[in-house]
Chain A
């Protein structure tokens, strides 16, 4: 027991330190190198230098947005894997991300992209797309009072493909807006603004707290829904709360950063490999790791082929794909 606790604490400290370091590293890296001292000076005092405006107007919002979205996606992945008791589930494999992207694309095409009370309608459309897709996929897999996880994954993948082709079709018809749409489908943080950071933080941080509040129940859900019911959990209410919370997070992630694949799948698994499956730790630690991974992926995307940028969704897929295959093979053994 003692050793396990020490290991958990050590990992937590390591994650927090890494998060701070990657925030600083990401802020300092780019076309213009900016030293850590200057970053700290800018934060504490504020400067009217060119570097300070690069930091304050471009890099800080982008890096912080990556941190918030990464945390959201990873926590959602961990929660959904626990709900559905399957290591291959996340917002992407269940079609939620594609649904959110389609919602966003529809809002762009119809020109309904206006701001209501500081909320972009694109974000609202993305959220609606995520929720509708989730419940559609869910109802496809839920027959005769039973849910088969295989049908859930199959339905999710099939719906994902379908929605992706709808998006491609819409792109074809709206060539003038193709750049804007590609941004959603590939996932990019290059347009990050302070407004976006603020809105997504307002939506994602409380949602994360909701998810963290239910981690004990998530552990019990792993025993099976019947068992969870008999241990005193209202499983359908719990699942509804958790899935809607997840949809809020996915909707706000997609509306600000587009579809970012694999991150939600990979981060929880890395944490589980180190400390086991206790969701009381897996979910918060995954969120921290998700932040770190998205900050680093985005930074790598920015600097690898300068002056061009690799969209962050492409970066996470390049790194996450092989890991996904590793998981599949591990599961077979």
Chain B
């Protein structure tokens, strides 16, 4: 029970329309917690129920042991601050006045703001780097500057929890990054818990410790970015086809929306023999063309394995550092046998994966078209003292081999499948 916030069995409806249904969440202190989901999935409503701006029909929101709806509005304001998508003032105020409003829950009505309040507001402005704007009017500022002012106000409010409803949706890329960096910094420096709705899944992936995926008022998935942001989940929640890879920086999932308008499945399956990242691009581009894919034998945790996992690729897999077992070999063989074509990428070869070459000499495989992505430095990838090179030469001498490169691959596949005919179902 170390959770700072627990949402239990929460339901909410506007009039008769159910907006939230049986939501359960636990949030631990200091985490960057993100809610994603399509428009109208109940994300903003959930934030407002957590912040007690809306009362739930059923269920409770518990803050460090206390039901939030039993607390006074002022006490809630001392624990929790809220940052909206954007703030627009019909009557303009100076930046310093807006930040000072953050002290409202602490101010005695008759005495007014104390020197301490002014000091806290000043420090909040320095922290968010807006001290130089303090005498400017709020509405004269750019969107990013305004959002920093609102963050300063939230800091001046001196709360443990920061709730943000699409805080960067109105901003350009530079300011999106600037604001999210600032929020992340507040989480780390001040042990603030951030609960935010973000639209950009890659931003959510890069910043979040924990992600909740919502649809139709229900939580469909929750977990770390790797656990949640998979192609299958994104298809389920957003109904879009994406390709998920691993961001080279920060080791988080990185999502590409597939921009090809028609990705009707072609009904053709390609088996990719890869490893160590040599197959990532191939898997991505073939997947976006609508091919069914399988891959193997891949070591669990390998980059190609991760990408295969995230893109619904069938995998013959093996635990790390043990070589390829009979079982994995058989699975790989089974996948190849049922594929229409095989692609061999420029993978590194060692004792543990040399069987991935051997399998191509199996007589049952001879009839399949085999595309080899050739490069000139096979020797550099060979860590088997020549054994692999020998196998490689005999594979290339086989019947259905097409030497190609990654650019030409798609065309070659189409050509080969046309002449060779699709596999018989």
Contacts and interface: CB of A to CB of B under 8 A. Distances in A.
Given A144-B15, A145-B14, A276-B93, A223 B87 contact: yes
Given A230-B80, A231-B101, A233-B104, A222 B93 contact: yes
Helix, strand, loop or mixed for chain A's interface? loop
Chain B interface, >50% SS class:
mixed
Given A219-B101, A226-B84, A227-B84, A232 B93 contact: no
Contacts of A223: 87, 89, 98, 101
Contacts of B92: 276-277
Contacts of A82: 91
Interface stretch (B69-77, B276-284, B400-408): B69-77
Given A224-B84, A231-B102, A231-B105, A144 B14 contact: yes
A167 interface: no
Contacts of B228: none
B396 interface: no
Interface in B24-68: 48, 51, 53
Contacts, number: 73
A216 B87 contact: no
B113 to A, nearest CB: 9
Among A144, A220, A227, A230, the one with the most B-chain Cβ atoms within 10 Å of its Cβ is A230
Contacts of A229: 53, 73
A59 to B, nearest CB: 38
A82 to B, nearest CB: 7
A222 B109 contact: no
Contacts of A216: 104, 107, 109
A278 B157 contact: no
B44 to A, nearest CB: 10
Given A220-B101, A220-B104, A230-B53, A278 B82 contact: no
Contacts of B14: 144-145
Contacts of B105: 231-232
Interface residues of B, number: 32
B250 to A, nearest CB: 31
Contacts of A86: 90
Given A145-B14, A226-B82, A233 B73 contact: yes
Contacts of A224: 84, 87
Interface string B93-122: 110011001101101010000000000000
B355 interface: no
A225 to B, nearest CB: 9
A223 B81 CA distance: 14
Interface of B: 14-15, 48, 51, 53, 73-74, 76-78, 80-82, 84, 87, 89-94, 97-98, 101-102, 104-105, 107, 109, 135, 157, 163
Closest 5 CB pairs of A and B: A232-B77, A277-B91, A230-B82, A232-B105, A232-B74
9 contacts: A85-B91, A87-B91, A144-B14, A219-B101, A226-B53, A230-B53, A230-B76, A230-B77, A278-B93
Given A222-B91, A278-B97, 12 more contacts: A82-B91, A85-B91, A144-B15, A213-B109, A223-B87, A224-B87, A230-B51, A230-B53, A230-B81, A232-B78, A277-B89, A277-B92
